Amino acid sequence: MKIPVSWLKEYVDLPDDFIDKLTSVGHMFDKSEEIDGETVIDFELRGNRADCYSIFGIAREIAAIYGTKIKPLSVIGIKKGNITTKLSIKTPLVKRAGMVEVKNVKITESPQWLSQKLKLVGIDSINNIVDLTNYVMIETGEPTHAFDLDKIENNLEIRLAKKGEEIVTFQGVTLQLTDEDLVWAKDNQVLSIAGSIGEKYNSISDKTKNVLLEAANYERANIRRTVYRHKLFTEAGIRHEKELDPEMVKRAIERYLYFIKKHNWGKFEPIMSDYYPHPPTKRRINIDWSQIERLGGVKIDKAEIVNILKRLSFEINGTSVAVPSYRTDVSLPEDVAEEVLRIYSYDKIPAKILSLEIPKNVTPEYINQEKAIKNAATGIGFDEIISLSFVKEKYLNQNIPPSGTKVISIQNPPSPDTQHLRSTLLPNLLEQAQKVVHERGLIVQFFEIGKIYFRKKNYTEKRKIGLIYWKESGSKFTDFKSLLLGFFTKANITELVFTPEILNLELSDSYLIKIGKKEIGFGGSVNNMYYAEIDLDSILGNDKKYKISLWPKFPPQIEDITFIIPEKTYIGTVASEIKSVSRLITKVELADIYNNAYTFNIEYQHPEKTLTDREVGEIRKEILAKIKSKFGAIP
């Protein structure tokens, strides 16, 4: 809220550091500007302090901070009574409505003091009668509205609008109302949207002779919904959506009349029609004085506490304090504690080191796992990416959810690219990988750890790691597989099985990755890139404790054996068959491929002795026989 310094000064002394102090007690200084040689400061006000959306409210805060006096507002005292205009209210959404009639008004241009003040806070001057409503709102915080009394006639009501009912605002915009919008109306004509904006025809014009001035208090949640529904972020709207003090209604009208009389802008009886069915009782809060210390962590003398509360106009009676009516934000002992602490100053709270009695560590295992998985992935030379959880329109064809599930969509996406949640990490990794290719990168090794989302019966989130690989000089599956094996080894996950499988994804050469029979992920290729995605919960707890072994004391025997193997044989199966022949075979590696000739590098080793040629020869014989009978392979 914009505060011209000269205007603020009319009510309270301003010490040099008042801006810092206001910031420290909760109203953060935002910026300041010079307008016509005047300093106007802008504060970020607290959403729960409806009383501070006014110059007088801010002055009251300053007086409380420094313990100084505030200059009271001059008013014309008014009595409650009947006026000619009748108001019917049948909704509980109105908590108070006050009206006075001002007759024989002189509509003129506003005097300099008035129009200039409004200019400083960014409000255009219209005429004296309208400007005065705005002036009183900025000064006291209570919005008021002036109708042309001769146009609106004598029978008014405040009611919910009919669905589709229209209003042309004073700015000339036509709005279609809903049956949740509260309005002032006569017969079938809407005169204003309660709490936010007036209607065009019934507002004050040059020809207005008589005025009806109203100030009211509504159920703020309803006003807030209307303000957001129709985007009516007017000065009145942003105040009425907050919890205003109904007592302000009378005060605002009294202040308004003071200026009318002072400048002789009209004639009035000091009588206000006052609809006020349930005036709130004074709020009293029981205070446990020690709670302030318990919560604040600082000892404040009782006398000091009492002094602070008095400066804030709280009345103290034994252990109970009465809250001033305008402090609609204070209702709990903790609220009172904050009042004391903020005026006492947060700077005086000591900084204490937390107790060394450390609570039990409750970090779930999967959080430690993610750290280990990240280490494994960077360990094989993959860079981490983080992408948005949404899939761009362009990549939607890649966003295929697990079978039997659905992609989750956002109902109110800010853009089409943030409409669909990813149901695999593939599309975003692919997009970022392609970026590298387009920018003439030579290699892509990316991984992302994050959630995928889909709907089965419930909304489901699954933690995944996706890895993508591409090389400008020609990507090979075995290169990627060898990196993947490195990744799993570093993550202490062994006994992996890769089985071919047609997947419901835009991937060719696809396969499943399993530990034994348990599926843990999948892989495949797209646009010459290799991709694999592994479910982190499926491998959680599957990592073996990192074990070391000593170099064997007896040297192994190593030899190469070459087989001619028929086409469409899974070579991985051949290798594991070879390995399964004897426990003394410690390693089988594919050393070379030439046409259909596959050379295996085989290591034989006994833990307690050096194997003789004869012993190795016998194992070799078995290998040859088994591979020939199983696969028809010729050595």
Partner 1 sequence: MQEEIINTKNQTIARIGEAKTAEELEEIRIEFFGRSGKLTLATKSLKNTDPGKRKEIGVLINETKKTLENLISDKRNSLKTNIRQWFDPTIPAKLPKIGRLHPTSIIISEMTEIFKHLGFSIMEGPEIETDHYNFELLNLPKDHPARSLQDVLYIEEPEILLRSHTSSVETKSLENLKLPYRVVVAGKCYRFENVNASNNAMFYQFQGFAVQEGLSMADLKGTLFTFVKSYFGNERKIRFRCKYYPEVEPGVGLDLDCTFCGQKGCPVCKGRGWLEMLGAGMIHPKILKNFGLDPNKVSGFAFGMGLDRIVMDRFKINDIRSLYNGDIKL
Nearer to partner 1, 341 or 565 (CB): 341
Longest dimension (CA), the chain: 126
Nearer to partner 1, 384 or 560 (CB): 384
Nearer to partner 1, 479 or 592 (CB): 479
Give the three-state DSSP class for 34: strand
Give the footprint of partner 1 on residues 573-612 (CB under 8 A).
Answer: none
- Tell me, residue by residue from 195 to 224, as one string, x for binding to partner 1 by CB under 8 A and - for no binding: -------------------------xx--x
- Tell me, residue by residue from 417 to 456, as one string, x for binding to partner 1 by CB under 8 A and - for no binding: xx------------xx--xx------x-x-x--xx-x---
Q: Which residues sit opposite 317 in a β-bridge? A: 320
Dihedral sign for Cα atoms in the order 116, 122, 127, 131? negative
The minimum distance between CB 98 and partner 1, in angstroms, equals 24
Residue 6 as a binder of partner 1 (CB under 8 A): the answer is no
Residue 474 as a binder of partner 1 (CB under 8 A): the answer is no
Give the footprint of partner 1 on residues 61-80 (CB under 8 A).
Answer: none
80-88, 141-149, 407-415, 559-567 -> range binding partner 1 (CB under 8 A): 407-415
**Contacts for 583 with CB less than 8 Å, ≥ 6 apart:** none
Note the Cα 279 to chain centre separation in Å: 37
The DSSP secondary structure of 244-301, one letter per residue, reads: --TTHHHHHHHHHHHHHHHHT--B--SEEEEE-SSPPPPPEEE--HHHHHHHHSS---
Under DSSP, the state recorded for 416 is G
Give the footprint of partner 1 on residues 231-260 (CB under 8 A).
Answer: 241-242
Give the three-state DSSP class for 88: strand
The minimum distance between CB 484 and partner 1, in angstroms, equals 14
Residue 387 as a binder of partner 1 (CB under 8 A): the answer is yes
Rounded Cα distance between 369 and 355, Å, is 29
Among residues 12, 40, 49, 152, which is the contact residue for partner 1, using CB under 8 A?
49
Residue 283 as a binder of partner 1 (CB under 8 A): the answer is no
Give the footprint of partner 1 on residues 324-353 (CB under 8 A).
Answer: 332, 334-335, 337-338, 341-342, 346-347, 349-353
Q: How many CB atoms lie within 10 A of CB 568?
A: 5
Under DSSP, the state recorded for 193 is E
Under DSSP, the state recorded for 609 is S
Q: Are 135 and 73 in contact (CB under 8 A)?
A: no
Among residues 297, 552, 566, 635, which is the contact residue for partner 1, using CB under 8 A?
297
Dihedral sign for Cα atoms in the order 506, 510, 516, 520? negative
Residue 372 as a binder of partner 1 (CB under 8 A): the answer is no
Instruction: Give the CA radius of gyration of the chain.
Output: 39
**Contacts for 560 with CB less than 8 Å, ≥ 6 apart:** 591, 599, 600, 601, 602
Q: How many CB atoms lie within 10 A of CB 96?
A: 23
Q: Are 100 and 147 in contact (CB under 8 A)?
A: no
46-54, 112-120, 570-578, 583-591 -> range binding partner 1 (CB under 8 A): 46-54
Nearer to partner 1, 24 or 307 (CB): 24
In which residue are the tokens 């970020």 written? Answer: 44
Nearer to partner 1, 182 or 211 (CB): 182
Q: Alpha helices, DSSP H only, in 444-570?
A: 477-490, 536-539
Residue 28 as a binder of partner 1 (CB under 8 A): the answer is yes
Residue 361 as a binder of partner 1 (CB under 8 A): the answer is yes
Rounded Cα distance between 110 and 420, Å, is 55
Nearer to partner 1, 178 or 389 (CB): 389
18-26, 57-65, 134-142, 304-312 -> range binding partner 1 (CB under 8 A): 18-26
Among residues 316, 372, 410, 591, which is the contact residue for partner 1, using CB under 8 A?
410
The minimum distance between CB 438 and partner 1, in angstroms, equals 11
Among residues 413, 416, 572, 632, which is the contact residue for partner 1, using CB under 8 A?
413
Residue 295 as a binder of partner 1 (CB under 8 A): the answer is yes
Residue 457 as a binder of partner 1 (CB under 8 A): the answer is no
